[in-house]
A = this chain, B = another copy of it.
Amino acid sequence: MDFKIVDGGTITTPKGFKAQGVYAGIKRKRNDLGILYSTNPANAAGVYTLNVVQAAPLKLTKESILKSKQLQALVVNSGNANACTGVEGDKNARKMQELVATGLDIPNELVGVASTGVIGQQLPMDCVEKGIEMALADLSENGGPAFSESILTTDLIEKNIAVQVEIAGNTVSIAGSAKGSGMIHPNMATMLGFITTDAGIEHEVLQKLLATATDQTFNMITVDGDTSTNDMVVVMANGQSGVNIDESHPEWNKFVSAFTHVSEYLAKAIARDGEGATKLIEVTVTNGASFEEAAMIAKSVIGSSLVKSAIFGADANWGRIVAAAGYSGAQFNPDKIDVYLMGTLIFQNGMGVDFDEEAVQARMQEELIPIEINLHQGEAQARAWGCDLTYDYVRINASYRT
């Protein structure tokens, strides 16, 4: 590992970032509005949900980054997704952008907006306005924890990470905060990710880096296969470390590893914190013909309700794993693959292997469930993360919105 993890690091660990989270009254009892701010305009990039139904703030943020290639601030509310809210919803997202821009005396298009929460209800704009005022008044280098709390809906755990990497003798920091899918109330949006760095990176390079890292991390997690109207990951790179970097830099790969680690940490934290989840499942597909095919298989296994239920029940059920790989759409010969569960070989030569089922079952009580599928086709590898399917998932999602 060419980088170090910053103990207690948050999204404000990189130089020049401030944040705050406050209770604005959009939802019942927790912080529900956060602002992230860079003291100078930062180059920015974003990746967004592929759902054709897209929330107003998501469309606005996408449009703003396309236009300015930069962001200097992000405002995020939880408790209300501002999705399927029509013309009034668009107006409210723009109002949030404008309030923050005016407060910070910066152009509107330098402010990103994100929302997560109930779909189909209008934002209580009086609360939002008051919250923005409060958060702006209190922006601080110590505001990371409050910010990360404010973006949660009913996630159980705040998701923060910061790493530092030495580039050309200077320390560069990369940090992130995310909101996952622990949704007690139905109709909640799923995933928001925010990444900051004090490296200097051009918009196009940053966009490419974010897209690649997202494909390997955020796009490799599944809680229930449902893609929300509000999913987005946004990165801001403000250059305050004094280090400028791109693909031609000799230490680019080192930087990419650190950046990808931040994404992967957040993605795994989201999967682990899935609704009703008791276990983190990690499926690694090795020696595939291509990343795409390996990824299809990994995601198919992680998304199988039968596999997820079996793991909840600590059942070393290779039949379901092999069947889910088989319907992924990727081509492979089932007679040539090896499947490992908890590190134990359980399937080979097209058949189950004699293994100590009781021992494996006992070890499946652990919180991390690794599954490995070796395709023996080529050299590509893909990894996906998910969680088990539990009674609590059904309970959480079947309960009426009250």
Q: Report A's interface with B, CB cutoff 8 A.
A: 49-54, 83-86, 118-120, 186-187, 224-229, 303-306, 309-310, 312-315, 317-320, 322-327, 330-335, 347, 349-352, 361, 389-391, 393-395, 397-401
Contact = CB atoms under 8 A, between A and B. Distances in A.
Contact of A305 (B313, B325, B397): B397
Contacts of A303: 225
Contacts of A333: 52
A322 B54 CA distance: 11
B390 A119 contact: no
23 contacts: A51-B326, A52-B331, A83-B319, A86-B350, A118-B319, A119-B323, A186-B319, A187-B320, A224-B304, A225-B304, A226-B305, A226-B320, A228-B323, A305-B393, A305-B397, A306-B397, A309-B397, A312-B394, A312-B398, A315-B399, A389-B397, A389-B398, A391-B394
Most buried by B among A53, A54, A352: A53
A71 to B, nearest CB: 26
The 5 closest A-B pairs by CB, nearest first: A313-B398, A53-B326, A119-B319, A309-B397, A187-B319
A53 B325 contact: yes
Number of copies: 2
Most buried by B among A54, A352, A395: A352
A398 B401 CA distance: 27
Contacts of A327: 49-52, 226-227
Nearest to A330: B52
Given A84-B347, A186-B319, A224 B398 contact: no
Most buried by B among A54, A84, A312, A334: A84
Contact of A84 (B120, B228, B351, B398): B351
A304 B320 CA distance: 20
A390 B401 contact: no
A330 B310 CA distance: 32
Contact of A313 (B84, B330, B349, B399): B399
Given A84-B351, A187-B319, A305-B305, A334 B53 contact: yes
A393 B309 contact: yes
Contacts of A350: 84, 86
Nearest to A388: B398
Nearest to A224: B305
B352 A120 contact: yes
Contact of A120 (B53, B227, B312, B318): B318
A84 B317 contact: no
Most buried by B among A330, A394, A395: A394
A225 B303 CA distance: 9
Given A85-B351, A120-B351, A225-B305, A187 B397 contact: no
Contact of A226 (B228, B324, B334, B361): B324
Given A226-B306, A351-B84, A398 B324 contact: no
